[in-house]
A and B are shown apart, each in its own frame.
Chain A
Amino acid sequence: MPEAPVDVLIIGAGASGAAIAWSLAETKMNILCLEQGDWVKSTDYPGIGADWELRQFGDFGLSPNGRGRSEDYPVNDDESPIQASMFNAVGGSTILYAGHFPRFHPSDFRVRALDGVADDWPIDYDLLAPYYEENERMMGVSGLAGDPAYPQPKKPPLPPLPLGKLGNTLAAGFNQLGWHWWPSDSAIASQPYEGRDGCINAGTCLVGCPQGAKASTDVTYWPLAIRQGVRIKTRCRVREITVGDNGLADGVVYFDEDGNEQKQKAEVVIVACNGIGTPRLLLNSKSKQFPDGLANRSGMVGKNLMFHPYGLVRGVFPERLEGYKGATGCVIMSQEFYETDPARDFVRGYSFEMLRGMGPVFTALSGMSTGDVDWGADHHRTYDEFFDRTAGMVVICEDLPEACNTVTLDPQRTDSNGMPAAKITYRLSDNSRKMLDHAIERAKEVLHAAGATRTTTEAPLQVAGWHLMGTARMGRDPETSVVNEWGRAHDVRNLFIVDGSVFVTSAAVNPTNTIQSLALYVADTMKKNLANLFD
């Protein structure tokens, strides 16, 4: 029997879907979220088993293409040097994320005004600042006030995570060069927080946190939203958002967990499927009124895909670093080269983030692939030169929007329900290439200053397509953008988009704090305008 119409239907239970669900819950509207994935139980996580490192290549892999889970949809990334990475479950990609949780800089919202490239955002840092603060409190961010890279006040609610020997070694390298660094703002509870356990430094964050210390939204926003009456239906994949004769969205068609097609009517539809899932769904929602896909009169749905081009530089150190201890990606961040410097041959800038070392299995396999670890008589000597003696740094480059970088519907591949897969077409710009080159050289410099005897490099880092942005951009002009300054589709007045698709530019930091703060801001604006939401 079809379910009664709901007031608000949210599609996607990841970072942004959870935040907006919680914020809207206080309205007591009838709110339903449809999510194609399932809940992940703490006993499902690899970190409690001996094979945890291997499962990063299996059912907890980064790419949806190789995991063998029916709730995933394929992403054809043959025409991209960077592979898409995401997770489909309650919590979305926050199940796998590292939890690095920086804010944008004020200048990130004024890219055209300051640097003459891309476009300015229709909102600014000051408008988002209270939502950043609220989101950091809700997610439980650990960090330290006083960072000169940010406007103050900015005071994370929890003390910073430990740096450990590895972090201290790298910090000394930065200090020697006189470069900026700061303990990472981390969406990981450094001590028990709001019913969640504190981090125990087990280092398996990228395959999920069985401890519940990492702020994936299944353990932060969702329990609170559900307590306030929001409902989630899992294993429900939305195929299409439907529109009525009045041009407004009137609900969705979805596949339930048995693969049966169902309809759900709604007054308001909110899309929170991430920078790939959202354009995929909109492009698949074709109708008489929207023959090129829903809310796509501008032609901007699926255009301007931005990743952050990443480079990975690893340093090999003479002494052991205890790099297996501590949150995997949350050590320290440096923004020494963040803002545009006219003396460089590129615009905009990048951040550095330190990584912990590799586990025992990864050390062997990565040494096997680089030829650094031998089999046979020399195995132990060559292995011991690497095990627990490497420290990694990633560089996160700002990606500028380009219309040629796209998400489209794949003409051949489909998911387990027969819905077209996503296809990404992406090239690295000249600006990104130059920025990466600059960043890699600086990363080597700091690793050597910290005591590394040699370094290895991978750039762009192929697996690092985990920040998905720009494919349904925000703007005031309906000719050049998909949603307005508070996330409402220009073409469909009861359709909202709240994930990373709405980003105008990408900044050079991890996006989730900004994605969720935007979702909270959209929710607040909706609440303030409830009486005339569709005007």
Chain B
Amino acid sequence: MAGLELLSDQGYRLDGRKAPELRKVQARMSVFAQADGSAYLEQGNTKALAVVYGPHETRGSRSKSLHDRAVINCQYSMATFSTAERKRRPHGDRKSSEMSLHLKQTFEAAVLTQLYPRSQIDIYVKILQADGGNYSACVNAATLALVDAGIPMRDYVCACTAGFVEETPLADLCHVEESGGGTSLSLALLPRSGNIALLQMDARLHQDHLDTLIEAAMTACKGLSKVLDSVVRQHLKEVSVLTRD
């Protein structure tokens, strides 16, 4: 970690944030009319677009359908212009497949799939600009898209990353902080119950620091859930004004 100071002596990070501060989150729902549900979310400079189709009949072979619940099919892809250097393979590579699988596992925990046996729900997420926290932005955007589609869920799913620098946990890492070589933990949380839908970390971390890191990530997720909540309520008010009953 030569040269780049992820946390200064006064406690400021590279982009001027304090350690537990989140980036600015802006989101919009119902951006597409053709899809059942859609949402656009910006978390700092990371921009993600999520589209939901369903529930509908299982496409392709019927053997993929489950007799008692719906199958959730996720596809994660990055736009070729999303990274600093043009991406050659936007989807189909191993990282995208792994992300798609993680998204699928996350939403199978939150969506009430038993209400739709023998059907399929499709979630497509595309990263338009990648600046760290790709998985988190995808999960947050997909949550809004699912709420927009009217698919019953137990709770919001909020995701955030957390890192560890000089005994201090950092919340919501940007790309430079993630690739700095330090620890990076991604957490997807159902905020009201505090249940963890997905926890992922690929770096080395001492066992003693794990609890503080998970705590920091959970606090960040709960803060994010408040933002998503206000976006949903605002959208509901706007829609009801247009279709006044």
Is B a genuine binding partner of A? no
- A residues near B, CB below 8 A? none
